[in-house]
Amino acid sequence: MTPARRADRAVYLRSHPLLFALLAATRHRPVLRLGRTVLVHHPDAYREVLTRVPLDRTAEHTTGGTAARLTGGSLLFDQQGAEHRAARRELAALLGPAGAAALEPGWQRILDRHLAGLTAPVDLVPAVRELAGATAAALTGSDADPVRLARAAERAAAATARAHLPALLPRPGGARRARAAAERLRLLLPDPRDAMLAVAAVNTTLAALPRAAAWCAREQLWDRAREDAPALAAELLRRTAASPVLPRAAAADATVLGHRIRRGDRLLLVARHAAEAHRDAPAHPHAVRAPFGFGPHTCPGAGLARAQLALLLGTLAPYAPRVLRTAPHPGSALPSYRSCVLAAPAAETRAPVRPEPGRPEEPPCPR
């Protein structure tokens, strides 16, 4: 196992140790039933569920169902039929190539201000947090401070994840904390659909970009970043699988790779394994698309995530930075870093980590 893969694996194990231990132990079973929960690992089974099996968007313990109960509103994840398709078309216009091109100058300004030529070690997480918050604000038309918005979305997502993922210990008061976190986000974004868009945009960005940049630095892939940053971004998003598990529920009986799925079964779709993130060279032709889903369940922000990461890699590539240190975030919704400090070779022995420009230090997200 390479140092980059070992370090990234530690992020998973720190964030949700019970869940990822279970997934690792069952990885070689394409589909596995555990009571009314079905683990879906194989790329073909994963794709078949997302393209052929009717899914209940409002069921308990699904992303959409949990979020809808917390916000009390209609979300993209819990819409059905024509309503769902219309909402996805609206999002496609915001998150497609034209939307990314419109946002890119703002992203570049944020990165340039935080990185400042990498004359000193820089923690990427605050830079990516501001970039994610600015993106969410632009997509929702909010005038909220980007960092404040990002932190509210982080806390709401963490509370929601704890509501529907297994844990080593019980979490008393979890529902109350989840409602409080959702209310704080609602004060910034009253429309539930805006709130969910911000949650998805912020947390995917925070999970994907620092980890992918750290992987690139540990493997010293900067030549590839200079040659073709978009292609490297797509590959690193496959290897890191920012949203490693998709909790869903079956809305009808079905058969997947010879395994019976019953209506009401809880489905844990393991995007990480469908993407063959545990392999350097995937064998399945659809692996690179798997982290963002398939068919009607394709993440509409996939192109935006690739564009953000390609810009970050292209901005870092001239400095060929190395990783000084990383710290996994134990309380995040998605496997993420709490800090990810990079330094250009000439700056490794210089001043301490550059503070976040123009902002006082804020307390970390609570677990």
Q: Which CATH number fits domain 3-347: 2.30.29.30, 1.10.630.10, 1.10.357.140, 3.90.199.10?
A: 1.10.630.10
- For the chain, domain boundaries: 3-347
pLDDT in tens, 314-334: 999 999 999 999 999 988 989
Write down the H helix ranges in 172-301. 174-188, 192-219, 222-240, 271-274
- H or E, element range at 138: helix 124-140
pLDDT in tens, 278-317: 898 898 888 999 999 998 888 888 999 999 999 999 999 9
Position 362 pLDDT exceeds 50: no
Q: What is the mean pLDDT of residues 262-270?
A: 95
User: 303 to each of 77, 101, 232, how far by Cα in Å?
Assistant: 19, 11, 14
d(CA 315, CA 3): 23
pLDDT in tens, 21-70: 888 899 999 999 999 999 999 999 999 999 999 998 777 666 666 666 55
pLDDT in tens, 84-99: 455 555 666 778 888 8
Residue 353 tokens read as 């980590």
Position 366 pLDDT exceeds 50: no
DSSP string, 81-137: HHHHHHHHHHHHHHHSHHHHHHHHHHHHHHHHHHHGGGSS-EEHHHHHHHHHHHHHH
Position 364 pLDDT exceeds 50: no
d(CA 134, CA 106): 8
Are 339 and 325 spatial neighbours (Cβ–Cβ below 8 Å)?
yes
pLDDT in tens, 40-50: 999 999 999 99
Residue-level pLDDT at 67: 60
